[in-house]
């Protein structure tokens, strides 16, 4: 991978989809950084990088290794234990092999979490006093009801989309957003139209719609929608008029 123009080797961790980048910083007299942070490269965690301190008299030197996990593919949520592994030999080259340290990763536990969004079933009361005389012909509507679909989302999600699918099929093209009534409904010649309450544009069924209200932080959100009865036949027969729509939420 490349970060700010510097290339780093991404090493496997033994967990599918999870790699690790290792960086080394030298310290002088145990407190001050001496020299730039160097990316560790080479086979099996062994570094091929070096840095000269230019010391000509007694100094206390040391080093710090920084590990950064990198997503290299899909990662399943769960708890993992990374295997122990040798990282590098760290030594003062002026003293050859007289003083050096071998650095290892211990068997390290790591928990991978997948941020989620949850929602609940929503019942939209359409009212019980809607008269068939309110319909004035094909496509006419009445009983427009605004409602929201609540979401509870964790932080760290990149994108959220949703789609709607009517339980008993759509009336006409799916782009009309008109759901057929349930088979137990008594009314005929009518459907239920789902729309965007701000623009009154229908919500096309079986189509992914981007939810732009999520701002990347954990919290409660709502998706605003509206429902109305729409005349679908030349005659409307009175009776119960219910419909069901499946709401599918997709987040990455």
104-144 pLDDT, tens digit per residue, is 777 778 888 778 999 999 999 999 889 999 999 999 999 99
3-state secondary structure of 133: helix
Give Cα separations from 21 to 109, 113, 177 (angstroms).
17, 20, 49
Domains and CATH numbers, the chain: 2-112 (no CATH), 117-251 (2.60.40.1090)
Give Cα separations from 240 to 130, 133, 170 (angstroms).
10, 15, 18
Read off the pLDDT of residues 225-241 as tens digits, 9 standing for 90 and up.
999 999 999 999 999 99
Q: What are phi and psi of 43, to 5 degrees?
A: -85, 140
Dist CA 123 CA 119 (whole Å): 13
Q: Are 249 and 162 in contact (CB under 8 A)?
A: yes
Look at the pTM and tell me if it is higher than 0.75. Answer: no
- Number of Cβ within 10 Å of residue 102's Cβ equals 10
Q: What are phi and psi of 180, to 5 degrees?
A: -70, 150
Tell me which H or E stretch contains 124: none
Nearest one of 170, 169, 151 to 161, comparing CA atoms: 151
Strands (E), the chain: 2-3, 6-7, 10-12, 18-28, 32-33, 38-39, 61-71, 78-82, 85-91, 100-105, 108-112, 117-118, 141-153, 160-166, 178-179, 190-195, 209-210, 219-231, 245-251
Query: Which residues on neighbouring strands pair with residue 22, listed in sequence order?
Result: 67
Would you give per-residue pLDDT tens digits along the chain (252 residues)?
A: 776 676 778 888 888 888 888 877 777 665 655 566 776 665 544 444 454 545 554 556 677 778 888 888 888 778 888 877 776 666 655 555 566 667 777 777 888 877 899 999 999 999 988 999 999 999 999 999 999 999 999 998 989 999 999 999 999 999 999 999 999 999 999 999 999 999 999 999 999 999 999 998 999 999 999 999 999 999 999 999 999 999 999 988
Dist CA 50 CA 181 (whole Å): 73
**Chain centroid, CA 170 distance in Å:** 30
Over the range 122-153, which residues count as b (16 or more CB within 10 Å of their CB) and which as e?
eebebeeebebeebeeeeebbbeeebebebeb
Q: Are 228 and 190 in contact (CB under 8 A)?
A: no
Strands (E), 138-180: 141-153, 160-166, 178-179
Dist CA 181 CA 241 (whole Å): 6
């Amino acid at each position: 991978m490349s970060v700010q123009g510097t290339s780093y080797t991404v090493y496997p961790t033994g967990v599918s989809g999870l790699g690790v980048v290792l960086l080394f910083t030298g310290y002088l007299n145990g407190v001050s950084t001496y020299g730039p942070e160097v990316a560790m490269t080479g086979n099996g965690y062994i570094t091929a990088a070096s840095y000269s301190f230019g010391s000509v008299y007694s100094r206390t030197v040391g080093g710090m290794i920084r590990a950064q996990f990198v997503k290299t593919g899909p990662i399943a949520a769960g708890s993992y234990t990374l295997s122990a592994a040798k990282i590098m030999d760290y030594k003062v080259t002026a003293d050859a092999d007289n003083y050096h340290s071998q650095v290892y990763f211990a068997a390290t536990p790591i928990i991978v979490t997948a941020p989620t969004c949850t929602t609940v079933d929503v019942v939209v009361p359409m009212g019980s006093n809607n008269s068939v005389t309110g319909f004035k012909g094909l496509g006419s509507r009445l009983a427009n009801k605004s409602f929201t679909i609540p979401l509870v989302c964790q932080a760290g999600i990149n994108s959220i989309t949703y789609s709607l699918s009517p339980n008993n099929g759509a009336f006409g093209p799916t782009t009309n957003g008109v759901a057929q009534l349930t088979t137990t409904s008594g009314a005929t010649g009518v459907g239920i139209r789902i729309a965007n309450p701000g623009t009154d544009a229908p919500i096309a069924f079986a189509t992914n719609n981007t939810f732009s209200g999520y701002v990347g932080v954990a919290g409660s959100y709502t998706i605003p929608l509206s429902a109305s009865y729409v005349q679908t036949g030349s005659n409307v027969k009175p009776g119960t008029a219910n419909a069901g729509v499946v709401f599918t939420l997709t987040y990455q």
